[in-house]
Amino acid sequence: MKAVHYVNQFFAGLGGEDKAETPPTRLEGAVGPGRGLVAEGIEIVATIACGDDFFAEHEEEALATLLDYLEDESPDVLVAGPAFGSGRYGYACGTLAAAAAERGTPAVAAMHPENPGVDAAGKAYVVPTAVNVAGMRDALPRLARLAAALAEGRELGPPEEEGYLPRGLRRNYFAEKTGAERAIDLLLGKLAGETRTEVGGGLDRVEPPAAVPELSEALVALVTEAGCVPQGNPDRLQSVRAQGWFRYDLDGEDTLAAARYESVHGGFDVTLANEDPNRLVPLDTARELEREGRIGRLHEAFYTTTGNGTPVVTSTRFGREIAGELREAGVGAVLLSGT
């Protein structure tokens, strides 16, 4: 049984955020957490790695190269991660696993259930993990077990039994109780305070708002989840798992000066952003356009938070609260920057 392991630049030992642009590369045997998988009985013949930013910005090229490596090795299984809560890494793991599975190589990734990479994984398997690397010791044996099962070609049972995340597939089976009885069970459970469901829900959709009829008369607001804050982060916005959002007056400034602003986002290398914060929140350009009359008026303040490991329910609340203020202020359009 042979496996190929996918990791990002950090777990491959190539460097941190400064090496996030590393193109795909192949390393002999197991590296980093791969050694933990080997200890669990997974024979890793090669490790393939790619920088998180490189994968995000050159997905087609990265995938092609990584899949070539995979074809050269012809393993019985591809293991990707664990990526925990890291969004770019998780996305790369999920996308690669899905592509490998489509091409006939069984694949399993590991990451936090709220990682956007879970959706990217499609029909490939995803083992749930904790949100950060403290969960490595817990994750590796579970990941190894699933990898071994896939490599053997064993048919897997349902998610709860085998320890992977539901993939939204429906499989028919004969239940002991009829649907009517199970529905009553669920209802009684709900009345008792325990909400369960047999079919999982997805994210809801929102209709696109109508286009702005007259931008030259509109009030435009700048919002960001890139963690842009005044120098020194006076309100202590978190770098990860933001607890709140903040509204900062622009004081009629023409630009976000590097001396007065910085980014505290913990999910990407903020060097370029700190050299020129307009790269995250385009105040200089927006002011020019306001002077030229292209937009009516720029909102007097901008809104900021850190979009890094924020649970869906929390970011939904932030969105509602910010939206409430924007509506009250009569804002007609928003430019939102994300990373």
Partner 1 sequence: MLAKEIERTGIPVVYVTSLPTVATMIGANRIIRGPAITHPFGLDEGERRRIVERALELLETDVEPNTVWEVDR
Give contact residues for partner 1 (rule: CB under 8 A): 20, 53, 56-57, 59, 87-88, 91, 116, 119-120, 203-212, 215, 223, 225-226, 268-273, 278-282, 284-286, 288-289, 294-295, 305, 307, 310, 312, 315-316, 318-320, 322-324, 326-327, 331-339
The residue among 57 and 72 lying less far from partner 1, judged by its C-beta, is: 57
100 burial via Cβ count (<10 Å: 0-12, 13-18, 19+): buried
Q: How far apart are CA 171 and CA 16, in angstroms?
A: 42
Phi, psi angles (nearest 5°) of residue 276: -155, 95
Residue 40 or 288 having the CB closest to partner 1: 288
CA distance 74 to 46: 11
Q: How far is the CB of 123 from partner 1 (least distance, A)?
A: 16
Q: Which among 120, 95, 97, 123 is positioned nearest to 109, based on CA atoms?
A: 97
Q: How far is the CB of 100 from partner 1 (least distance, A)?
A: 18
Q: Which residues contact 140 (CB under 8 A, 6 or more apart)?
A: 33, 36, 37, 39, 40, 82
Residue closer to partner 1, measured from CB, 180 or 203: 203
- The region, left, alpha or beta by phi > 0 then psi within -120 to 50, assigned to residue 232 is left
Shortest Å distance, C-beta 197 to partner 1: 21
Q: Which is nearer to partner 1, 279 or 297 (CB)?
A: 279
- The distance of closest approach from Cβ of residue 199 to partner 1 in the complex, given in angstroms and rounded to an integer, is 19
Q: Write the burial class of residue 164 (CB in 10 Å: 0-12 exposed, 13-18 middle, 19+ buried).
A: buried
Return the number of the residue (5 or 88) whose C-beta is nearest partner 1: 88
d(CA 61, CA 68): 11
Give ∠ CA 317-164-153 in degrees, rounded to 5.
155
Q: By C-beta, is 98 or 149 nearer to partner 1? A: 98
Cα(90)–Cα(162) distance, integer angstroms: 21
Q: How far apart are CA 44 and CA 30, in angstroms?
A: 6
Closest separation in Å from C-beta 96 to partner 1: 13
Q: Which is nearer to partner 1, 105 or 310 (CB)?
A: 310
CB of 170 to partner 1, least distance (A): 21
- Rounded least distance, CB 279 to partner 1, Å: 4
